[in-house]
Structure formats: structure tokens, C-alpha cells
Structure 1
Amino acid sequence: MEQVLDWYNNNQTQINDYLINFVTAVLIFWIGGKIARYVGSLSNRMLQARGIDTAVASFVASLVNAVIFAAVIIAALSQVGIETATFVAILGAAGLAIGLSLQGSLSNFASGILITVFRPFKAGDFVEAGGVSGVVKEIQIFSTILTTPDNKYVVLPNAQVTGGAITNYSRHETRRLDLVVGVSYAADLQKTEEVLKSVLDKHELILPEPDKLVAVGALADSSVNFNVRAWVKTADYWTVYFDLNKSIKLELDKNGIEIPFPQMDVHLHKDNA
């Protein structure tokens, strides 16, 4: 015990200095972390106030947060006596090794930058990307957040988003609605065409331009198929889609026009022999 006390007395100044530096480093790390989050949040609010898209603003904010936090870590390590130059060199070498083993994460980061630069979609758009359909909520450093129509929260890696086709259903103000309506071969085609056109003309959400189209599209196995096309506002697409399906069925029934189901005629021949 006396040896410990003698060692402490002989090194008291160095121990106190180290404890002070350690406490200071902890405070730098704690306060710096809060500052990083605050600056990131402030950047997000400032960008949105300037009219920048929410998804882009959240991406930049998360990037600012990460950069400041990395600087805080270096400052904290420097406070406890670790040579930051050596640390940065070690960090660079470690980063290279980690980068080789985490190519997917780096790919997600690069893809996130591409998304924010080229902006194939923005927050609030309904898109189909990476095999998932949903409303874009935000773009983060490594992932894009979507909410599906049935209110599921989907975290989609950015590389998966840019790795395939991106369909943005909200990009244009108008959208064409396509239906295929099959009627019996015994039906009066001219009358059927008039009934279908009247249904389109009566719907108030269908746009007058471009012109509506009702035409025979195919002579199928069990039916004559009509292609029915109309232009609507993107926001009204599903409302009109469901309305037309119901209205067409009711009007065809009212006019005695049959919608056939798949069927096969079997002919029996008697063998006189």
C-alpha cells in the first residue's frame, strides 16, 4: 500500500493532468455530439425554409451531422494525448480496409449522392423502386425511407434504388388510365362502343384533352376486347379507375351486353362405323 501511495505522490501532477484531460475529452465528446445533432437539424430546417426538397434536406443534414461528429471524435482523442495525425493515418488505413469489406455501404452512400444530385423523385412522390412501391419520406446517407399504401415503413438501401428502373407516378400532373373490357362475340360492337364512350363522357374527373379512346383491341379466345383509355389528373387516378370499373359493368348490364367468362366449346362426333 505504501508503494502505491509513494507512486501516486511522485506522479500526482501527471495523474491529475490526465484525469483533467480525460474529463475534458468526455465533455468534448458529449457536447460535440449534441452540437453535431443540433447543426444537422438546423441545416435541415434552413434548407427546407429555402424551398429545398425535404428528402434532399434530410440527406444533407445527416451528412453534416456525420462530418461534425467525426471532427468531435478527433478533438476528443487529441485531448487525451493521442496524436491526431497518427490517428488520421491509422483511420485512413482502417477506412480503406473497412471500405473493401463494406463495399455495399459505400455503394449506398454514393447512390445517395446520385439521388440528391439527379433527383429522380422528391419527398411526397409515389414511386416504384427496388421492387417496392410507396411514398418517399426522406433520403438518408445510406437508405431511402418509403411508406407503402398499406402504411408499412420500408428502409430501402440507396444502391437498390439506383440499381434498377425507378418509376415515379407523381412526376407528371396527368396520367393515362387504361382498361380492357371484354364482351361476348354475340354483342353488337357498335352499340358496345357507344355505351363505353358514354360512360367516359359522363365522368366529371376525366379530362377532355387528350381525346378519350374506345377501340377493339383484340379478338380473344372467349371475348372481343375493347381498349378503353382516358386521361386524368394523377391525384384522381385510382378514384376514376374504380368508378369506371363499376360504371362500365352497370351500363353493359343495363344494355344487355354480356361480359363473358373463359369457356371452351366441346364438339362430339358420332362414329357410324
Structure 2
Amino acid sequence: MRIVMIVLLLMSSLVMAQPSDELSQKLSNLEQEIATLYQESLTKTGSARNVIDMQLLNKNNQLRAVLKDLIDSRTDETTPLLTKYVKQQASFISRASKFLGEKITAEEKKLDEAGQEEKLMVQKRLDEARRFYTEMLGQQWVNYKWLETLGIPDPKRQAELIKDIEHRLEFMSASLTFDSQQEKMLSKQLKAASEAEKPSLQILHLLAQRNLASDIDNLNFLVELANKMDIDTTAYTQQIFQTTGNLTDDILNPKVLIALLSTWAGNVGQWLLDNTPQVLFKVFVFGLIIFIFNILKNLSRKMVARAVASPNLRMSKLMQDFFISMSGKGVFIIGLMIALSQIGLDLTPILTGFGVAGIIIGFALQDTLSNFASGMMLLIYRPFDVGDFVEAGSVSGKVSHMSLVSTTIKTFDNQILIVPNSKIWGDTIKNVTHERVRRVDMVFGIGYSDSVEHAERVLNEIVDAHPAVLRSPEKTIKLHTLNTSSVDFIVRPWVKTDDYWDVYWDITREVKLRFDKEGISIPFPQQDVHLHMVKNQPE
């Protein structure tokens, strides 16, 4: 910041003449304030001095703002005096720029000779000097435009400044390219460095980052200044965008957009020209591996399907589908991993990512995993299979589909119910059709006045006459209960599971027809009401 003090002290010497009234008052006030701040800065150190330096910089900006306002509202009387002030500004900035150039050269030499601990401080001073130098160039261009406005242009010095700006643009562009490459290289080295090497590399990487940031700021300022001078800055704007990736208004410039698209198209074309044969070969190898393993997947599914369908294994349909599906998917995943490795993809981060993602998904899908675990238990213990009639999860129907997450049940009225496996495994499971043979339980009642032997003989004839009733196990027909309104018989024939309801409905119908024919009554609940009449009594 001492550069600022020297600059502003010299600037305060500009207000030496005795201008007329309003101009004199404004410029004299600023001169006095700058002189006071400079004297105060001589007694300060550290952060207090930096604060005063910032105040001096602000006062200088105010002084130049006063000059601008006075130039915009100039008269024939004030023009000579304003011309004098502007010439003094231009002369001073020329000397200040020369001083700052020497300062930058000295700081660059110190940076090369400094140790790692001192480099950060030297770099900070160098960045500060470069920033003030570019600001001086911008102020000098304003001075030349002021002189042009006052009627005394200086085309020779303007051309020299434009040439200097063009030179600075080329230098900063080259510096940005170099520092960007250095930062990327150090970043890669830092990732692969050991713990002992990291401290020194971290300092170098930090320096590279600061150099890169300083280059971008300076180049942005120079591009903005060059645009005012009608210098073509398309290449530099494109370079800034490619380095930072930040979208600015300059990107919308048609020239910049065309240059970016041309560069990208050229890069893509060159990349395709250099890498097409290699890429095509890798794509061919990738496709060939996928094709081979797709064939192997189908072969493995067929082989596993034959193995699990063996009667000796007695696997459920769900378990068979599970093994068939997993065998095919497992073979295909192995083939995919091999194919990806052949095209140069590092599988370690992918596998690590799958592990981390698995943990996160596990917490997020706890209910789904519970259903999956229940599905595995159903697969292992096989309480039912596809096609069985079950009562489970508070529903009943025929199992039409099973997966590791849910079970699809079709009711007798053709409704589809999808039940989570956790609901089924956590409740009582009743498999109605698991066994090949079932017993049909029926109860028929006769009246107390009917013959028990007659009714028993008729029931035996009806059951024995039905073709679907099995002879073994033997049927059961017994007098069971002396009920309140009837004498009840239990009728329990054995049938194949598929014939259960046919036998139930056929025998029930035949019992009603035969009982009516044989004169056997089928009682229903009834109640006798007895009324007792009471004779009238005399009052």
C-alpha cells in the first residue's frame, strides 16, 4: 500500500495553480484533505496505515471525478486551466507507471529468490503492484480522452498506449495459460503425494492458485480497457471463459460465440482424427464382450432352469425363478464389468460408490428391505407356491405371482391383490391347497321324529355314489349332536383337492333331494308359544 501513498502524494501536487472560484474551491479542498491524510500516514504503522492508504485512494478518485464533472461542464474560461490539470495528470501517470513497472520487476526477482515461507507475502505485494499498474493504464486512457475532449488530442501517445495494452494482453494471456497448467499439474501431484510431501506442495499449489486468480483479474481489466480502445479481444474473452467457465456479457458477443464454437469444433475434430481408430476398436471389444456374455447369460439361465426343475430338489416356483434370474443377471454383470475395464474405465471408484450408495439406499428403503427379507424367508421355507389357494396377510385367494418384495393374490371374484411379503410373513399363513387330498366337512340335521338308521343309510348311499369321493382314506358319517331343534350328522368324505367344492356342492344338493324323497325332514329352528287364558274375576 505504500505505492498508493507515493502515487497520491504526487497527485496532490497537481493542484498548484490558483484557479477561479468554483474550480479553486473544489480542487483546493481535495488537495488539503490529501495532504492531511499523507502527513497522518507518516505516523501510522500496520493496519492503521493501510486504512489511511485506502482513504487516500478514495480521495484521488474523488479528485478525478471533480475533474470529469468540470470537463463535462467546461467553458471557454475554464478550458485552459482544465487542460493544464489533465496534462499534469497524464505526465504524473507516465512517471507512476514507470515506477510501478520497476517495482513489479523487483518483486518478481524477489519471488524467484524467496523461500517457501516468504513467497506468499512477496506474491501478495506483486499482485498489488500489477493491479495498480493496470489501473494506471486505464486512468491514462481516460486522460487522453479528456485531452481530446478539450480540443488538444495526442494521437501519438494514444497509439503508444494502445500498443502497450496489446503487449500487456499478450503477456497476461501467456501468463494465464502457464499458471493454469501449473495449477492443474500441482493439483494432480497433491492428490497423489505422500503425507511428507504434502506441506511443500500445498504452498506451491496455493501460490499457483493466487497467480491464476491475479492473471484472470488483470486480464479481465485489460480486456475491458481494450474494448474501449476498439481492440479485438475475442481470443482473450474466449480464453477467460475456457479457464473459469463463468458466463459474462462478453460471451454473448457474436464474435466470441463464433470463436468458441469454432474452437470446440476444431478440438472435437482433432480429437476424433487422433482417437477414432482406438475408440472404434474399444467399442468393438466392448460390444463383442457384451454379446458373448449375453449368450452365456441365456445358456446359464437354461442350465439353471433344468437343474432347479429336477423333482429331487422339490424347489418352489419362487425359488426356481429366483435362481434362474440371479444366474443370468450375475453372468451379465460380470461381463459388463469386464467390458468396462477393457475400455479403460477404472472400476474401483464405481464399486466404492456402489457400496456407499448401498448403505444410503438401505436406510432410505427400510420397508422395502423388510419385504425383501420376508421374501427370502418365504423362498427358503416354502409355505406356499404359485397356484396355491391361501389365506395370508388378512386376504384369501389363489397365488398368481410371487417376487422377493410382494405376492400377487387373485380372489375368486377375479380381483388382484398385491400384498407386501412382510405382511404375509408376519401373519398366520393358511395354505388350503397345499396337500393333494382334502376332507370335506359337512353337517346335516334331521328331525327328532325321524329314524336315525334310515338317515344314516341314505347319507352313506349318497356319499358312496359320488364318483369323486375317495375310498381311501375312508369317509366318516356319524351322529354328532342332539341339537335344540335337530339331530345332527357329520359327513366327512375325502376327495382330491381339486374336487373339493364340486363334492361339497353335489352332496349338499343330493341330500336335500333324497331327504325329501325319503320323507326325512330337515328341521329349522322353531319355537312353540303356549297361551294360558285367565277367567274374568268379579270386581
TM > 0.5 fold call: yes
Pick from 503, 520, 524: which aligns with 1:257? 520
Question: Does the Cα contact within 8 Å between 1:43 and 1:57 map onto a contact in 2?
Answer: no
Deviation at 1:109, TM superposition (A): 1.7
CA deviation profile, 1:137-196 (whole Å, cap 9, x unmatched) = 443232334444445444433223322222233332321111011222332333222222
> Matched residues in 2 for 1:166 and 1:88: separation?
40
Structure-1 residue corresponding to 2:271 = 13
Cα distance in 1 for partners of 2:332, 2:486 equals 66
Distance 1:88 1:116, change over 3 A: same
1:126 aligns with 2:389: yes
Q: Matched residues in 2 for 1:81 and 1:14: separation?
A: 17
SS in 2 for 1:128: strand
Which moves more between the two structures, 257-266 or 244-253?
257-266
Unpaired segments of 5 or more residues in structure 2? 1-257
Percent same amino acid among aligned pairs?
36
Asked whether the equivalents of residues 62 and 141 of structure 1 are also in contact (C-alpha less than 8 Å), the reply is no
> Quick check: 2:294–2:332 contact (8 Å CA) kept in 1?
no
Secondary structure (helix, strand or coil) at the match of 2:480 reads: strand
Q: Which has the higher contact order (CA 8 A, sep 6+)?
A: 1
- Write the distance in 2 (CA, Å) between the matches of 1:31 and 1:66: 14
Deviates more, 1:256-265 or 1:128-137: 128-137
Q: 1:199 to 1:49 in 2, by over 3 A?
A: closer
Whole-angstrom CA distance in 1 between matches of 2:474 and 2:448:
27
Partner of 2:483: 220
User: What is the match of residue 95 of structure 1?
Assistant: 358
Say whether the 8 Å CA contact 1:180–1:225 is kept in structure 2: yes
Considering only aligned residues, what root-mean-square deviation do their CA atoms show, in Å?
4.0
Counterpart residue number, 2:459: 196
- For 1:167-186, what aligned pairs fall within 5 Å after superposition? 167-186=430-449
Distance apart, 1:69 and its partner CA: 6.4
For residue 86 of structure 1, report the CA deviation from its aligned partner: 3.1
Question: Which deviates the most, 46-55 or 173-182?
Answer: 46-55
Q: Residue 39 of structure 1 contacts residue 64 of structure 1 at CA under 8 Å; is this kept in 2?
A: no
Within-5 A mapping of 1:1-273: 1-10=258-267, 12-13=270-271, 38=298, 42=302, 45-47=305-307, 50-51=310-311, 53-65=316-328, 67=330, 84-272=347-535
Letter of the 1:13 counterpart: W
Deviation at 1:250, TM superposition (A): 1.1
| SS of 2:479 mapped into structure 1 | strand
Moved more, 59-68 or 115-124: 59-68
The residue type equivalent to 1:6 in the other structure is T
Change (3 A) 1:152 1:17: farther
Cα distance in 1 between the residues matched to 2:351 and 2:516 = 77
Cα pair distance change 1:197/1:46, threshold 3 Å:
closer
Shift of residue 113, structure 1, vs aligned partner: 2.0
Q: 1:225 to 1:129 in 2, by over 3 A?
A: same
Kindly tell me: are residues 257 and 167 of structure 1, through their superposed partners in 2, closer, same or farther at Cα, counting changes over 3 Å? same
Q: Which structure shows the bigger proportion of residues in strand conformation?
A: 1
Structure 1 residues 118 and 207: CA distance shift in structure 2, 3 A: same
The alpha-carbon distance between structure 1 residues 233 and 48, as it changes in their structure 2 partners (threshold 3 A), is: same
Paired residue secondary structure (1:190): helix
Distance 1:271 1:78 in 2: 108
1:190 partner letter: E
Structure 2: distance between partners of 1:136 and 1:33: 34
Cα deviation for residue 78 of structure 1 reads 7.1
Q: Distance in 2 between matches of 1:16 and 1:77?
A: 22
Give, in angstroms, the shift of residue 6 of structure 1. 2.6
Look up the SS of the partner of 1:108 in the other structure. helix
Please give the per-residue CA displacement for 1:72-103, whole angstroms capped at 9, x wherever unaligned: 77678878987543333333333223222322
1:187 counterpart SS class: coil
Between structure 1 and structure 2, the one with the greater Rg is 2
- TM-score, reference length from structure 2: 0.42
* Structure 2 CA distance for partners of 1:196 and 1:218, relative to 1, 3 Å: same
Distance 1:213 1:46, change over 3 A: closer
Q: Secondary structure at the match of 1:252?
A: helix
Distance 1:268 1:16 in 2: 116
Farther-moved stretch of structure 1 (58-67 vs 39-48): 39-48
Residue 146 and residue 222 in structure 1: after superposition, are their counterparts in 2 closer, same or farther (change >3 A)?
same
Measure, in 2, the Cα distance between the counterparts of 1:59 and 1:259. 54
Aligned residues: 272
Report if the CA contact (8 A) 1:142-1:158 is conserved.
yes
SS at match of 2:439: strand
Matched AA of 1:263: Q
Q: Which amino acid is the alignment partner of residue 354 of structure 2?
A: L
Preserved contact between residue 448 and residue 486 of structure 2 (Cα < 8 Å) = yes
Tell me the TM-score normalised to structure 1 length: 0.76
Paired with 2:339 and 2:299, the residues of 1 have a C-alpha distance of 19
Q: CA deviation at 1:136?
A: 3.7
Q: Could you tell which deviates more after superposition, 139-148 or 7-16?
A: 7-16
Over 3 Å counting, the alpha-carbon distance change for 1:81 and 1:212 in structure 2 is same
Task: Flag the 1:136–1:181 CA change in 2: closer, same or farther, 3 A.
Answer: same
Query: Is the helix fraction higher in 1 or 2?
Result: 2
